[in-house]
Amino acid sequence: MVKSELPIVFSHADFYIFEKPAGLNFHSEGEKGFVVLAEQQTGEKLFAVHRLDKVTSGLIILSRNKEAAAKFTSLFTDHAINKFYLAISNAKPKKKQGWIKGDMAKSRRGMFKLLPTLQNPAITRFYSFSYKPGFRAYILKPYSGKTHQLRVALKSLGAPILGDTLYSGTAAERAYLHAYALSFLWHGEQINCSLLPTTGDEYQQLINHQEFQAWQSPWQLDW
């Protein structure tokens, strides 16, 4: 269910940071996508500089002018924009923190898979903790921007994301992947922006857990 208004979490002369709800296509596919809805809401021409999968909720930047869009593209290319995600799985992972690295290749049915090679690898670092028996929360920082990167990374650990049925996750009311925080330097100004998930019962339980306090400012963690 998509809210009629897309929340603007941070507003700047050069860009907006919006909240994208889970289940909304980024680009229009039959029905209006996130970018079109954001343009209609603001009455401005907006420029996409990165994207989120349909199943993913959370923070997304839209540039308000071409010059800013070009700068963001350069920052993303240089991996100068730090992105942090929250995920939940109800499967036991092969390891509880560390790096997940590997080339990615197309698989079947629109899926991707992680390869053992490292020619142009997807790179992700993560921490995790168990917030209740059988359920584990993950905070992930991608160091590359591959399609389905985090979904494939957790699947490769044997811990597919809860609700991500494409990658064998247990069915749930949503896929538990949320773009939680962004941190970057914009013309000398440090921008730190975070947004707690607003839907998903498991996310609410996680947020209320004592250990989650350590993840409140994810850019301060030891990455």
Q: Any idea what the CATH number is for the domain that residue 177 is in?
A: 3.30.2350.10
Mean residue pLDDT across the chain: 95
**Domain extent at residue 92:** 8-220
Residue at token pair 């954001």? 38
Report the distance separating Cα 203 and Cα 104, nearest Å.
28
CB atoms within 10 A of CB 154: 29
Q: Is 21:56 a contact under the CB 8 Å cutoff?
A: no
Write down the pLDDT at residue 210: 96
pTM of the model: 0.95
* Residues involved in catalysis: 53
Inform me whether the pLDDT recorded for 218 exceeds 60.
yes
Assigned domain for 2 exists:
no
CB atoms within 10 A of CB 192: 14
The pLDDT tens digits of the residues spanning 81-121 come to 999 999 999 999 999 999 999 999 999 888 999 999 999 99
Q: 1 falls in which pLDDT band (50, 70, 90)?
A: very low
Assigned domain for 1 exists:
no
% the chain with pLDDT above 90: 92
DSSP state of 33: -
Write down the pLDDT at residue 163: 97
Assigned domain for 3 exists:
no
Sign of CA dihedral 8, 9, 11, 17: negative
Assigned domain for 174 exists:
yes
Assigned domain for 116 exists:
yes
Report the distance separating Cα 145 and Cα 143, nearest Å.
7
E strands in the chain: 8-11, 15-20, 47-48, 57-63, 82-89, 98-102, 104-106, 112-114, 122-132, 135-142, 177-186, 189-194
Assigned domain for 100 exists:
yes
The pLDDT tens digits of the residues spanning 125-178 come to 999 999 999 999 999 999 998 999 999 999 999 999 999 999 999 999 999 999
Q: 221 falls in which pLDDT band (50, 70, 90)?
A: very high
Q: 2 falls in which pLDDT band (50, 70, 90)?
A: very low
The pLDDT tens digits of the residues spanning 7-61 come to 999 999 999 999 999 999 998 888 899 999 999 999 999 999 999 999 999 999 9
Assigned domain for 39 exists:
yes
| Number of domains present in the structure of the chain | 1
3-state class of 97 per DSSP? Answer: coil
Assigned domain for 191 exists:
yes
The pLDDT tens digits of the residues spanning 59-89 come to 999 999 999 999 999 999 999 999 999 999 9
